[in-house]
Structure 1
Amino acid sequence: MSTRLNLEDLPPRYRAQAEAQIARRTREKCTTTQQTLADAAKSAGKIGKTFESRGEYEYYISVILPGIESGRIIKATPHVAFPLLPAKEYGNVKLPAARYTADYVLVYADGAVEVVEIKSKFTRWAQRDYIYRRRLFIDLIAEPKGYKFTEIITPDSKDEIREWKRLAKQAGRSEKL
Structure 2
Amino acid sequence: MRLELSDLPPRIRAQAEAQIAARGQKRAPATPSMAAAASIAETAGMDFDSRGEYDYYMGVILPKVQRGQIVNVETHRAFSLLPEKEYGNVKLPAARYTADFVLTYADGTMEVVEVKSKFTRRQQRDYIYRRRLFIDLVAEPRGWRFVEHITPDTSAEIKAWKRLAKQKG
TM-score bucket (shorter structure): 0.7 to 0.9
Percentage of matched positions with identical amino acids: 65
Tell me, which stretches of 5 or more residues in structure 1 are unaligned?
Answer: 163-177
User: How many residue pairs get matched?
Assistant: 157
The root-mean-square deviation of aligned C-alpha atoms, in Å, is 2.8
The reply on whether 1:58 has 2:64 as its aligned counterpart is no
Give the structure with higher Rg (CA): 1
Given that residues 50 and 158 in structure 2 are in contact (C-alpha distance below 8 angstroms), is that contact kept between their aligned partners in structure 1?
no
Superposed, 1:17-166 pairs within 5 Å as 17-22=15-20, 26=25, 36-157=33-154, 159=156
Cα separation, 2, equivalents of 1:9 and 1:84: 35
Structure 1's 88 and 158: CA in aligned 2 closer, same or farther, altered over 3 A?
closer
Q: Which amino acid aligns with 1:56?
A: E
CA deviation after TM superposition for structure 1 residue 15, in Å: 1.9
CA deviation after TM superposition for structure 1 residue 23, in Å: 5.2
Higher relative contact order at CA 8 Å, sep ≥6: structure 1 or structure 2?
A: 2
**TM-score when scaled to structure 2?**
0.80
Alignment-derived partner of residue 16 in structure 1: 14
Tell me, which stretches of 5 or more residues in structure 2 are unaligned?
Answer: 160-169
Q: Which amino acid aligns with 2:33?
A: T
Comparing 84-93 and 40-49, the one that deviates more: 40-49
Q: Which amino acid aligns with 1:142?
A: A
3-state secondary structure, aligned to 2:121: helix
